[in-house]
Chains A and B, each alone.
Chain A
Amino acid sequence: MLAALENARPLAGGQSLMPMMNLRYATPDHLVDLSRLAELSYIEASSPRICIGAMTRQRDLMADVDLMAACPIIAAALRHVGHIQTRNRGTIGGSLCHLDPAAELPGMMALLDATLTAKGKDGERTMAMADFPLGYMTPNLEPHEFLTAVEFDAPPKNHGWAFDEVAERTGDFAQAGCGVLITFNAEKKIDQAKLVLIGVDEDGPRRLGAVETMLTGKAPGDALFREAGAMAAAEPMAEDALVTQAYRQQIAGVLVRRCLTQAAGRAGGAA
């Protein structure tokens, strides 16, 4: 259908596209409602590879007991996504495709190195989350394609995690946000650290590869986490009419330090 129609857009939960249409920023001629595709709404989180249907609502992600046990950071991040009313309609696929730079779920998928599946007139294809954003609010999808699923490895059982963001009110778009996953080895050194920032880059979530490398193998501690924060704060970041680059850098650095501290405290086997 998407392939056959001119100026058509898939409509998932509508919690991003509908405001754009009401404000007349988006004026599609056709909408293809995906919400009736029940087969795209599922969560399989009991096995090491977690699979989630693209039309799974944010509400259902927050309520899923298996997902909460395997990967609690997702529910923690979702508490910052809009409000109850929008989470009751908003979907994971819709959020990924809208690709707002400050959106939490793209950040989570980037953090978890998720693989995305898209379906179009030529069949299905998969891609890494890292390859999904092509630019400002531009997902790597053809006009005839839509997202069907995401999957990712559950983080190790004893991982530490933290998510936090700076927004002036509950539910507002983050001026910057940070997610951290961390594991420790038997020597209580950092085995692996994953960090993502949201809201700082027009092109979508930003993994902090250099910080992750720097942290690997080190013993956790305030000085180390401060150094990580300083590295993050030195990255170039977006500036717009309301939020300066300098402020984003400062709060990103603070969030990195705080999230690392909190995640390390939650991790099994931490110092």
Chain B
Amino acid sequence: MTGDTRPRTRVSLTVNGRAVEAMVEDRFSLGDFLRRDLALTGTHLGCEHGVCGACTVLVDGEAVRGCLMLAVQADGRHVTTIEGLADADGNLSPLQQAFMDHHGLQCGFCTPGILMTLTAYINESPDADEEALRDALSGNICRCTGYDTIVQAALSVLKPKGGV
């Protein structure tokens, strides 16, 4: 282990509202960095080739694949992970609560990525219909649920409160 020459770079970013400074291995993906260096293990790596969506996090509010972005590229950015969805008191976000109410998860491994994808999507498209939601979800694979309860959970958040 002498002469460790592995290149590292200093990064400063905001993660779940908290300022973070770290020396990160250049080769680390954002997902690696969150999990290994920041111990934010709620972000899961399911394929590491950009298809399954389990690693989805928000960068400046937009859903991105944590396995397809280098940690050094997150320098100066605002990153939100599953650990940042509940409020400061630990109350679930409306979408998280809807997943609980609609049985939107089984093993829970893909769930963080799906919640992050839907959180960004619902912010951008609050009046989406079921077809649009399913299209938005097409970049996240869930092997357990068959998706329907996920879609129902998301639709319940979209529906106007007290509406029809």
Q: What residues of chain A have their CB less than 8 Å away from a CB belonging to chain B?
A: 11, 14-15, 18-19, 22-23, 31, 33, 35, 59, 82-86, 88-89, 169-171
Q: CB distance B139 to A18 under 8 Å?
A: no
A84 touches B63 (CB 8 A): yes
CB within 8 Å of A: which B33-69 residues: 48-50, 53, 56, 59, 62-65, 67-69
Best-buried of B53, B65, B70 by chain A (most CB within 10 Å)? B65
Q: Are A23 and B49 in contact (CB under 8 A)?
A: yes
Inside 8 A of B29's CB, which chain A residues have their CB? 18, 22
Closest chain A residue to B48, Cβ basis: A22
A18-B68, A31-B70, A170-B138 given; A86·B50 CB < 8 A: yes
B138 touches A88 (CB 8 A): no
Q: Tell me if A85 and B117 are in contact (CB < 8 A).
A: yes
Given A22-B49, A23-B49, A88-B62, do A83 and B138 touch, yes or no (CB 8 Å)?
A: yes
Number of residues from B at the complex interface, CB < 8 A:
24
> Are B63 and A88 in contact (CB-based, < 8 A)?
yes
Residues of B within 8 A of A14 (CB): 68-70, 73
Given contacts A19-B48, A22-B48, A88-B62, could you give 16 more A-B pairs where the C-beta distance is less than 8 Å?
A: A14-B69, A14-B73, A19-B68, A31-B70, A33-B70, A33-B72, A59-B62, A82-B139, A84-B120, A85-B53, A85-B63, A86-B65, A88-B59, A89-B64, A89-B69, A170-B138
Docked pose: A259 CA to B93 CA in angstroms: 44
List the B residue with the shortest CB-CB distance to A22: B48
Q: How far is the CB of B134 from chain A (nearest CB, A)?
A: 9
19 contacts between A and B (CB under 8 A): A11-B70, A14-B69, A18-B68, A19-B48, A19-B68, A22-B49, A22-B67, A35-B73, A59-B62, A82-B50, A83-B139, A85-B53, A85-B56, A85-B63, A88-B59, A88-B62, A170-B135, A170-B138, A171-B139
By secondary structure, the B interface counts as mixed
Q: Is B23 an interface residue (CB 8 A)?
A: no
CB distance from B56 to the nearest CB of A (A): 6
**Would you call B136 an interface residue if the criterion is a C-beta within 8 Å of the partner chain's C-beta atoms?**
yes
CB distance from B25 to the nearest CB of A (A): 13
* Interface residue? B121 (CB, 8 A): yes
- A89→B138 CA distance, assembly (Å): 17
**In whole angstroms, what is the CA distance A19 to B136 when docked?**
21
> Which of chain A's residues have a CB closer than 8 A to the CB of B48?
19, 22-23
Q: Say yes or no: A86 contacts B139, CB within 8 Å.
A: yes
CB-based nearest A residue for B135: A170
Contacts of A18 in B (CB 8 A): 29, 50, 67-70
